[in-house]
A and B are shown apart, each in its own frame.
Chain A
Amino acid sequence: MSKQPILEIKNLSAGVEGKQILKGVSLTINEGEVHAVMGPNGSGKSTLAAVLAGRDGYDISGGEVIYQGKDLLELDPEERAREGVFLAFQYPVEIPGVNSTYFLKAALNEVRKHHGQPELDAMEFLTLVRERMKLLELKDDLLKRSVNEGFSGGEKKRAEIFQMAVLEPKLAILDETDSGLDIDALKVVSTGVNKLRRPDNAQLVITHYQRLLNFIIPDYVHVLVDGRIVKSGGKELALELEAKGYDWILKSQTVPA
């Protein structure tokens, strides 16, 4: 049986305030696959994540994105989330006074409502949460605190992956999830992500450094430079990149992919 594509990005061009950032990106992600997009600073990695999640302020100047047969770019960000697209933020924001558990329950129930499932009550939700918390070795008190408020960098990233564990997205986009994490936190977060990997979902891991890919092993690696994917390959490409640096790609690549 051939794999079903979850996400097909076709020749996507996008920019912000008149400045072109993505210059024709194409990428297909099938069920059960983990793709990594690597690239130097300013290559357009975070723009790609933002455009896929539907953040305001980006102009799409060309191409299309098909998510499970739907035109993703036509959907509002909340509709994308309810359809199963999840963005783990590079910089999760704090929402003072809004309890983490309350927030997550509201989010999960939006997804359930969207799929015609009954909303979970407080007890059912708590049972689910306790089970998923074990994945991330999270402390109970995190749930009692306000969304991301006063969290350390590591706690914020762990909390993002914990939300992912509860929401069980079809497509998870991890935007620089390794940034700001020490090696122990990186292991915990990666282990969590790996446990959430299933044959019917997919992950798009965006990172600057190879070290995350020691823990989250991708099926494919794509190198994004100046808004274009200039090289694609297997997991070994990441190691090669680590050894030789982005300059190597720039020099060896004369024709855009």
Chain B
Amino acid sequence: MGVALKAGARFKSAVCDTQVMVIKAPAGDYDLCCGGAEMIAPTAAGSGAQVDPNHAGGTLIGKRYVNADESVELLCTKGGAGSLSLNGTALEVKQAKQLPSSD
């Protein structure tokens, strides 16, 4: 069962504190998981299950997570113990270009 990832949409982990916001994603259905469990709507109740030890790398607030070709980008708005995966592949932290503060 997949979900559409519309820019601006928010999801939370069913098994840890992680929350994400979609920055960009091509149209289509995706299997978005955190801590090994499918992510849920921000208002839905968590499952009460534990983070899968194979998906326990954790997320960090403020980091952007991308797939291999960086076509999908999520912003972590709250960190947690689980790690993110998309269609079965772990998402990686996007390396941000360091810019001087301009305002």
Q: Do A and B bind each other?
A: no
Which residues of A pack against B, CB within 8 Å? none
